[in-house]
Amino acid sequence: MNYRYTDEDKTYDVEKLSGEGQATFNLLVTVQQRMDGIQGDLTILQASAVALHQKMKEFLDDDAIAEDDETEE
């Protein structure tokens, strides 16, 4: 497969770059893939937090209202 890299309106054939340039490109691809995965994980975690806050409301009772500032949230 022929990989291409675009910078400032110019497109480069990665196979024509130096070995170090190709290695840098491969690292860039890996980093981007990991960032995409982390972004997906973050979306899942945010949705989970929203659902858990909603679920938590089922357990709240006026008898449990704290009367001091020593309780952690």
Give, for all 73 residues of the chain, the pLDDT tens digit: 789 999 999 999 999 999 999 999 999 999 999 999 999 999 999 999 999 999 999 999 999 999 886 656 6
Around 48, how many Cα atoms within 13 Å sit in the side-chain half-sphere?
6
Largest pairwise CA distance in the chain: 71
23-34 pLDDT per residue, tens:
999 999 999 999
Helices (H), 1-73: 19-56
Specify the residue for token string 């937090």. Answer: 49
Tell me, what amino acid is at 58?
Answer: E
Which candidate, 34, 39, 21, 35, places its Cα nearest to that of 3?
A: 21
This prediction's pTM: 0.65
